[in-house]
Amino acid sequence: MAQAIPIRKNSPLKASCHECSLSNLCLPLAVEENDLERLEDIVQQGRIFNRGEHIFDQSTPFRSCFAVKSGSIKTSIITEGGEEQVTGFFMPGELVGLDSMSGETYACTAKALERTSVCEFPIEKLEELTGKMPELQHHMYHLMSQEIQNSHQLAMLLSKNTAEERIAALLLSLSSRFQRRRLSPTNFSLPMARNDIANFLGLAVETVSRVFTRFQNQGLIRARGREVELLDVEALQTVTREFSRQGCQ
Amino acid sequence: MAQAIPIRKNSPLKASCHECSLSNLCLPLAVEENDLERLEDIVQQGRIFNRGEHIFDQSTPFRSCFAVKSGSIKTSIITEGGEEQVTGFFMPGELVGLDSMSGETYACTAKALERTSVCEFPIEKLEELTGKMPELQHHMYHLMSQEIQNSHQLAMLLSKNTAEERIAALLLSLSSRFQRRRLSPTNFSLPMARNDIANFLGLAVETVSRVFTRFQNQGLIRARGREVELLDVEALQTVTREFSRQGCQ
DNA sequence: GTACGAGGTTGATATGGATCAATTTGGACG
DNA sequence: CGTCCAAATTGATCCATATCAACCTCGTAC
């Protein structure tokens, strides 16, 4: 079943983790240079999806986690009634599918927001490997824990914060994720539509639109379509913290 | 550093996982009978907390995960401004602290809602053990994934559902968790105050109170204080699904 | 170039639940 | 058994955001 290792390693189509520019963000982050090829042996690299295509589908058998290599991914849950709830956005270097590691099927649907390439980690092989590599296991725990925290953070945003606070928080989150990749933290292009933002943040599209223009009028951002420029990061941070400040009497 | 194993195993104060009534819910669930003592070797059992006492505190060093043995626990995040956000309720057999496995400190504060006993799993030893026991590792992934899903579910509830739907969902969640423990799924005592429910569900206390009385008037439940009886489980399920139904045109 | 449709913006109105305020209940304790 | 304080309930009002409706913008296809 397993392909001969030399073939995979030498295949020009299979770019290696060694050469990947995201190796300081992705799973290789937790792996010694020497052990990197053990990770390379299980990863299936280079799958490419066009905008709108599904990487995986809720209720199909869970097989793999996916690392975003380029592009971006939206995950969402479809309820019985056909309503969509966006649960997350994933950018290069981030791992998708961690919420599916219980149960037989994927817990959500993952859709490419633009032309996107991913690396696939078959879950059985990944579990086998983490069993042998304590640092990689540790890193998996770390990532999953992080995702729990992110989700709690989102729940908090949804239950306690105003529309402005939610949107400021999202912009700043994206900003810092661009920064991690050594891209401009103040000048970027939103990978998702207003609709997705609204759904993710529990708002109506109209509200998202209004807040964008309000921020623009206040000189906090400049936005045309999906192109965004953060003009006053500090002010945005103040917006997100305003809520908790008020709580402090 | 490690105590002599025979002493621990024979100590009358250290009840064993073998004898624990929750062994089919808790971590032992994933462990072969034969291997159970390896788990027993690392667990520190029997710590007891009174109502209101902290099991651990946000921003103190993260050392252990805790399994609830009896009683119940509330976890919450305290924001800079002192605002509390309840992130979860934990019942016997459930594992607390999974959200803290990234970072040096606990990600939230865990507080006993009543007199509560817990089993402590020092994280370093637990990680070491899961590295040696594939099924236990698999179970950890399963639990963490489950918690991500729960949190997404909560986010969904918060962003899309009405007060009635949220409260019906919480009641049903508690119901099924009592049922897993072979307790009555229709007749139980809420471990948490209305305040905690409100905070958890992103509502005002007054709203929670109103919904409880409304449900009562509709004959869905009977509630006096923390004592709750679910009179019409099906109707409650309908309430939680009503939203998604509407979405289906 | 023009037509088309999806995505985005703007305006007017409605509403669920927050907030403020008052009262009641219940449990802990002397 | 009464006192006291926190928790819970009930009522009245207000507001942020949803909803409904109209319009605009831009990319794509012909």
Residue A248 clears pLDDT 80, i.e. is over it: no
| More confident call, B162 vs B246 | B162
Total domain count, chain A: 2
Using alpha carbons only, give the angle A152, A158, A162 rounded to the nearest 5 degrees: 135
Same domain, A52 and A122: yes
- So what's the pLDDT on residue B16? 75
Separation of CA B154 from chain center: 14
Mean pLDDT throughout B27-50?
A: 89
C-alpha to C-alpha distance for B166 and A18, rounded to whole angstroms? 48
C-alpha to C-alpha distance for B41 and B121, rounded to whole angstroms? 10
pLDDT > 90 in chain A, percent: 78
Q: By 3-state DSSP, what share of chain A in percent is helix, strand and coil, each rounded to 5?
A: 45, 20, 30
CATH number of the domain enclosing B34:
2.60.120.10
Among residues A156, A175, A204, the one where a domain terminates is A156
Same domain, A24 and A140: yes
Same domain, A80 and A182: no
Confidence band for B8, pLDDT divided at 50, 70 and 90: very low
Q: State whether B81 and A141 contact (CB < 8 Å).
A: no
User: Which range of residues forms the domain containing residue B239?
Assistant: 161-247
Separation of CA A211 from chain center: 23
Contact A70, A113 (CB under 8 A): no
* B246 inside 8 A of chain A by CB: yes
pLDDT > 70 in chain A, percent: 91
Question: Per-residue DSSP letters for B112-133?
Answer: ESSSEEEEEEEHHHHHHHHHH-
**A101, A134, A142 member nearest B141 (Cβ):** A101
Q: Which two tokens stand for residue A11?
A: 């295949």
Same domain, B82 and B34: yes
Same domain, B167 and B241: yes
Same domain, B126 and B64: yes
Q: Show Cβ contacts of residue A190 under 8 Å, excluding neighbours closer than 6 positions.
A: A174, A197, A226, A227, A228
Let me know how many helices (H) and strands (E) chain B has, helices first: 8, 11
Residue A1 clears pLDDT 60, i.e. is over it: no
Question: Per-residue DSSP letters for B21-62?
Answer: TTTTTSGGGGS-GGGHHHHHHH-EEEEEE-TT-EEE-TTSBP
Same domain, B106 and B11: yes
Dump pLDDT digits (tens) for A36-75. 989 999 998 778 999 999 999 998 999 999 999 999 999 9
* B232 inside 8 A of chain A by CB: no
Same domain, B40 and B125: yes
Among residues B156, B190, B209, the one where a domain terminates is B156
D16 C1': nearest CA residue: A162
Same domain, A143 and A32: yes
Q: Which chain A residues touch B248 with a CB distance below 8 Å?
A: 80-82
Question: Among the listed ranges A12-26, B116-130, B224-238, which one has the minimum average pLDDT value?
Answer: A12-26
Residue B83 clears pLDDT 90, i.e. is over it: no
Among residues B123, B156, B189, the one where a domain terminates is B156
- So what's the pLDDT on residue B11? 46
Q: Please, which residues 107-136 of chain B have a Cβ atom closer than 8 Å to chain A?
A: 107-108, 127-128, 130-132, 134
Same domain, A70 and A128: yes
Residue A25 clears pLDDT 80, i.e. is over it: yes
- So what's the pLDDT on residue A246? 39
- So what's the pLDDT on residue A242? 60
Same domain, B232 and B188: yes
Q: Which nucleotide is nearest to A209 (CA to C1')?
A: C9
Same domain, B30 and B108: yes
Residue A135 clears pLDDT 50, i.e. is over it: yes
